């Protein structure tokens, strides 16, 4: 949208892990040096950690692209696997055949290790180096960590046959420091933690990415750079999101450079506000809530902003907008809809007023009623250029959902998620879910337990639809499941213009 306006040849602040846009700050340069240590014959196990959004995956991809021709690399980007699946994934990455045996049975751990060991011996004799990078390693369950330790035993009398690089968030350090993991921790030969970017490094970072996108002059003034650093706390992923929004804001207002005001507006649209507490100790300023009908109890949900129907009417004065909203969601055309409560009573849908950053709103796949301070309009999320003052959608509430669910928890909603994501990332011939119990073994009796295999499916789905792949089942993930799997009978008009609904300019 703003590329031609600023003379750019590509998006300079994409959050995709593109090695071409990698800026080697002193810390990132040192981290890359630690990865290069794996190219020596001494590296058995290397550990790289850093907070979310620090550029660890981008560093890994840069390392892979720069690796010499004599190096074979297996890159495991999602380690929420069982031990056999990890071995299969490594074999697949190294193009080692590991299909079922002659009787159609899956290979055992020992058979997979034997295949891997034989291939490593052959590659070593041919002068090749084999490296396995495991990203998001903080998510590995205990049985998998033990398998990692056993893989470090693959060696000759002089050299390690396989170098393992564990890449993860700071929680990985905590896991490795546990007493029962000490054998694995003692085998780490190099480790490095990526710190946040300093304020002095931010200006060169922004200019480097602009240069790579074809712009050789600065688009951010000093006050904007200071504001972006303060808003992002030096985390590259947040910096990129804020900078991208800031350029869009400058484009929308006809300015050629980003100033402090535009930067602060971008920060407000990207960075979630910190929760504040009132004197009574209750969260007040940013606690999201859901609009409920008389029979429902108010519950706190992530990222929903609660208002009563009467307060909504103070700005949603044209009652015809409720009818237009109902039409966009293909509710009964013979019914008259005049309020949110009225919609809830006459359908299985509820109103949600979302106080989300613009980037999250644009991922929705359903019509949004937006309020700009003067009037309400019906829009498709992809049409939004700026964050509206309020955004209203309809959704079909899912029974039992009151708060976000994390891996390892049990909840009645898990069965619903498991059903809807049954085909997400499935392998050919995989007819049924296998569930990993809390002990790490396969089980069929934990259908409400949020196990690692389901977490892997959730992460894959989140990544596919553009959400943060944090494996947490919250409102954004549930709405996306409804939007993309379409298994709840929720009919959504993909083009509100077909119902003569007013669209934004």
**Domains of the chain and any CATH numbers:** 26-194 (3.40.50.300), 200-270 (1.10.8), 278-396+489-505 (no CATH), 413-485 (no CATH)
What is the distance between the alpha carbons of residues 289 and 300, in angstroms, rounded to a whole number? 5
| pLDDT score of 211 | 95
466: left (phi over 0), alpha (psi -120 to 50) or beta: left
- pLDDT, mean of residues 323-344: 70
Which tens digits make up the pLDDT trace of 261-307?
999 999 988 887 665 444 444 443 333 433 333 333 333 333 333 33
242: pLDDT confidence band, cut at 50, 70 and 90?
A: very high
DSSP labels, 220-277: B-HHHHHHHHHHHTT-HHHHHHHHHHHHHHHHHHT-SSB-HHHHHHHHHHHSPPPP-B
Helix axes 83-93, 142-151, angle to 10 degrees: 50
DSSP characters over 42-78: S-SEEEEEE-TTSSHHHHHHHHHHHS-TTEEEEEES-
Distances from the Cα of 324 to the Cαs of 304, 312, 353, in angstroms? Answer: 22, 16, 16
Q: What distance in Å separates the CA atoms of residue 380 and residue 369, rounded to the nearest whole number?
A: 9
314 pLDDT more than 70? no
The percentage of the chain sitting over the pLDDT mark of 90, rounded to a whole number, equals: 30
Q: What is the pLDDT of residues 193-238, one digit of tens each?
A: 999 999 999 999 999 999 999 999 999 999 999 999 999 999 999 9
Is residue 124 within 8 A of residue 131, CB to CB? The reply is no
Cβ atoms 437, 397 nearer than 8 A = no
What does the alpha-carbon distance between residue 486 and residue 459 come to, in Å, rounded to a whole number? 19
pLDDT at 350: 77
More confident residue, 303 or 396: 396
Please tell me the distance from the alpha carbon of residue 56 to that of residue 22, in angstroms, as a whole number.
11
d(C-alpha 408, C-alpha 139), whole Å:
11
What mean pLDDT do residues 136-160 have?
86
Calpha distance 373→378 (Å, rounded): 14
Q: Could you give the CA distance from residue 357 to residue 503 in angstroms, rounded to a whole number? A: 21
- Asked if the model's pLDDT at residue 168 lies above 70, the reply is yes
SS3 369: strand
Q: Is 413 exposed, middle or buried (0-12, 13-18, 19+ CB in 10 A)?
A: middle
Give the pLDDT mean for 16-28.
Answer: 90
**pLDDT of the residue at 373:** 73
First and final C-alpha spacing in the chain:
15
Q: In Å, how far are 121, 128, 360, 378 from 113, measured between CA atoms?
A: 12, 19, 43, 58
């Amino acid at each position: 949208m703003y590329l031609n306006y600023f003379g750019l040849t590509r998006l300079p602040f994409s959050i995709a892990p593109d090695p071409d846009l990698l800026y080697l700050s002193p810390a990132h340069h040192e981290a890359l040096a630690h990865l290069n240590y794996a190219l020596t014959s001494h590296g058995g196990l290397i550990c790289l950690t850093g907070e979310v959004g620090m550029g660890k995956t981008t560093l890994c991809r840069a390392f892979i692209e720069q690796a010499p021709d004599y190096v074979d690399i297996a890159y495991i980007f999602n380690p929420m696997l069982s031990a056999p699946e990890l071995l299969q994934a490594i074999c697949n990455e190294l193009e080692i055949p590991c299909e079922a045996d002659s009787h159609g049975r899956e290979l055992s751990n020992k058979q997979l290790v034997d295949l891997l060991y034989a291939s490593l011996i052959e590659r070593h004799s041919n002068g090749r180096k084999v490296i396995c990078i495991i990203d998001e390693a903080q998510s590995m369950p205990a049985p998998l960590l033990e398998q990692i330790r056993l893989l470090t035993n693959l060696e000759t009398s002089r050299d390690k046959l396989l170098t393992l690089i564990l890449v993860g968030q700071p929680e990985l350090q905590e896991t490795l420091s546990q007493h029962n993991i000490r054998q694995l921790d003692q085998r780490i030969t190099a480790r490095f933690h990526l710190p946040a970017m300093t304020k002095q490094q931010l200006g060169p970072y922004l200019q480097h990415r602009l240069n790579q996108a074809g712009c050789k002059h600065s688009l951010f003034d000093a006050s904007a750079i200071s504001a972006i650093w303060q808003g992002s706390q030096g985390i590259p992923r947040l910096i990129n999101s804020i900078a991208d929004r800031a350029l869009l804001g400058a484009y929308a207002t006809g300015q050629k450079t980003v100033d402090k005001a535009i930067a602060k507006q971008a920060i407000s649209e990207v960075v979630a506000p910190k929760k504040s507490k009132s004197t009574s100790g209750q969260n007040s300023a940013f606690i999201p809530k859901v609009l409920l009908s008389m029979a429902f109890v108010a519950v706190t949900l992530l990222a929903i902003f609660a208002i009563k129907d009467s307060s909504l009417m103070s700005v949603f004065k044209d009652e015809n907008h409720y009818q237009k909203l109902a039409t966009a969601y293909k509710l009964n055309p013979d019914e008259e809809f005049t309020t949110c409560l009225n919609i809830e009573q006459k359908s299985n849908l509820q109103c949600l007023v979302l106080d989300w950053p613009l980037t999250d709103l644009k991922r929705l796949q359903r019509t949004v009623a937006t309020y700009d301070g003067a009037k309400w309009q019906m829009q498709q999320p992809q049409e939004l250029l700026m964050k509206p003052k309020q955004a209203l959608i309809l959704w079909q509430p899912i029974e039992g959902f009151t708060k976000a669910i994390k891996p390892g928890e049990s909840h009645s909603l898990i069965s619903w998620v498991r059903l809807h994501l049954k085909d997400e990332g499935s392998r050919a011939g995989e007819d049924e879910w296998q569930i990993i119990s809390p002990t790490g073994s396969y089980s069929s009796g934990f259908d409400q337990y949020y196990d690692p295999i389901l977490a892997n499916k959730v992460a894959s789905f989140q990544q596919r639809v553009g959400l943060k792949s944090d494996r947490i089942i919250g409102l954004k993930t549930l709405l996306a499941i409804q939007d993309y799997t379409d298994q709840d009978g929720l009919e959504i008009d993909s083009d509100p213009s077909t119902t003569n609904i007013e669209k934004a300019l």
